[in-house]
A = this chain, B = another copy of it.
Amino acid sequence: MDLKNFIRNVPDFPKTGVQFKDLTTLWKDKLAFKESIDILYERYKNKDIHKIIGAESRGFIVASPLAYLLNSGFVPVRKKGKLPYKQVEAIYQLEYGTDALSIHADAVRQGENVLIVDDLLATGGTVKAMIELVKKLCGNLVEVAFLVELEFLKGRKGIDVPVFSIIKYTE
């Protein structure tokens, strides 16, 4: 199954010139959705992953079923102000200005094997902030995994842990 066939290209969203990769058409197809998760499961099933970290909000869609299958705990990273308890933050760059991501301070124990999972790697701003959060909690970050990677945006550059992606766009 070529999973790329299930992704809808939406021109000029969210603004002129952007070719938006709409993954909802993959997720609504039960076979494509299942295959995308199974590929990740096969890759990590023997890695003894204790915690899967997913980012608000599309990242949850990929990270949560993988956590279930791997028998790992699931940990959400959220935008500033959304989590209710003691947390640590990491700042990341937006096109104009900055924003912050948060994780609960007790979400990962020191030395636990952690996998970061997100739907799409673009410029990498979000995932770099997530990596910083895992490091602040002293987790052992095994890899970062994506359903889709926009290789032409060179988001891997500057990520100092292994990166895996299922579907790649070169342009």
Q: How far is the CA of A18 from the CA of B76 in the complex (A)?
A: 22
A64-B65, A68-B37, A76-B61 known; A84+B14 contact, CB < 8 A: yes
**Which residues of chain B are within 8 angstroms of A10 by Cβ–Cβ distance?**
84-85
**Which residues of chain B are within 8 angstroms of A84 by Cβ–Cβ distance?**
8, 10, 13-14, 20, 22
Copy number in the complex reads 2
A68's partner among B60, B65, B83 (CB-CB below 8 A) is B65
Q: Give min CB distance, A87 to chain B, whole Å.
A: 10
**Which residues of chain B are within 8 angstroms of A67 by Cβ–Cβ distance?**
27, 30, 33, 65
A29 within 8 Å of B (CB atoms) = yes
A75's partner among B28, B51, B57, B76 (CB-CB below 8 A) is B28
Q: Could you tell me if B85 and A61 are in contact, using CB atoms closer than 8 angstroms?
A: no
Q: Give min CB distance, A146 to chain B, whole Å.
A: 16
Q: Could you tell me if A27 and B75 are in contact, using CB atoms closer than 8 angstroms?
A: yes
Q: How far is the CA of A30 from the CA of B75 in the complex (A)?
A: 10
Q: Could you tell me if B22 and A85 are in contact, using CB atoms closer than 8 angstroms?
A: yes
Closest B residue to A9 by CB, please name it.
Answer: B84
Closest B residue to A67 by CB, please name it.
Answer: B33
Closest B residue to A36 by CB, please name it.
Answer: B68
**Which residues of chain B are within 8 angstroms of A99 by Cβ–Cβ distance?**
none
**Which residues of chain B are within 8 angstroms of A22 by Cβ–Cβ distance?**
84-85
Map CB proximity to B onto A20-40 as digits: 1 under 8 Å, 0 otherwise.
101010011110011001000
Since A33-B73, A68-B69 are in contact, a sample of 5 more A-B pairs with Cβ atoms closer than 8 Å, ordered by chain A residue number, is A28-B51, A29-B73, A54-B61, A60-B64, A64-B64
Q: List 9 A-B contacts (CB under 8 A).
A: A8-B85, A24-B75, A24-B83, A24-B107, A33-B67, A33-B73, A60-B60, A60-B61, A65-B65
